[in-house]
Amino acid sequence: MIRITRDPLDAAALLRDFCRDRLDTGAVVSFTGLTRGRSGDRTIDTLTLEAYPGFTERVMEAIEADARARFEIQDALAVHRWGPIGVGEPVIFVAVAAAHRRPAFEAADFLMDHFKTRAPFWKREDGPEGRRWIEPRDQDHNDLARWAEETP
């Protein structure tokens, strides 16, 4: 399941709800991405993400479908914020359920690598030095490229 929201994320509540009534699940892996207060030598006060509701979810749903086809998982959840997000606040929450830990870890990693570079969010950092639009880093693209090298 994919959701984008302007509302603050409660990662503990999302994880608790995701884990509820999973009698055949042996592993749940979760990831919570937070807004950093520094980017290189710059101080960051706010991260602002722009998105196109509907379109953004469709791209993320296609990424989730790829993960489901590639890994033996039972379920996945991704909730991504957009709009202004303060330092230390969650930006994204991802959880994956599987019968065993390895596919849960791999699917969560796959989802994050793909969301980071392919999900259509436009990111701006605001701080004392001004505003700056940011793009995925070279390392983000390298992380994504490793999935193309592996066979499902």
Q: How are beta strands 90-98 and 27-34 bridged, if at all? A: antiparallel
Q: What is the mean pLDDT of residues 13-36?
A: 97
pLDDT at residue 136 above 90? no
pLDDT at residue 62 above 80? yes
Q: What is the mean pLDDT of residues 10-38?
A: 97
End-to-end CA distance of the chain: 22
What's the chain's average pLDDT? 95
Under the banding of pLDDT at 50, 70 and 90, the label for residue 21 is very high
pLDDT at residue 53 above 80? yes
Q: CA-CA distance, 24 to 18, in Å (whole number)?
A: 13
Annotation: CATH topology of 2-134: Aldehyde Oxidoreductase; domain 3 (3.90.1170)
pLDDT at residue 152 above 90? no
Q: What is the pLDDT of residues 78-114, one digit of tens each?
A: 999 999 999 999 999 999 999 999 999 999 999 999 9
Under the banding of pLDDT at 50, 70 and 90, the label for residue 150 is low
Question: What are the boundaries of each domain within the chain?
Answer: 2-134
**DSSP result, the chain:** -EEEESSPP-HHHHHHHHHTT-TT--EEEEEEEE--SEETTEE-SEEEEE--TTHHHHHHHHHHHHHHHHS--SEEEEEEE-EEEETTSEEEEEEEEESSHHHHHHHHHHHHHHHHHHS--EEEEEETTEEEEE---HHHHHHHHHHHHS--
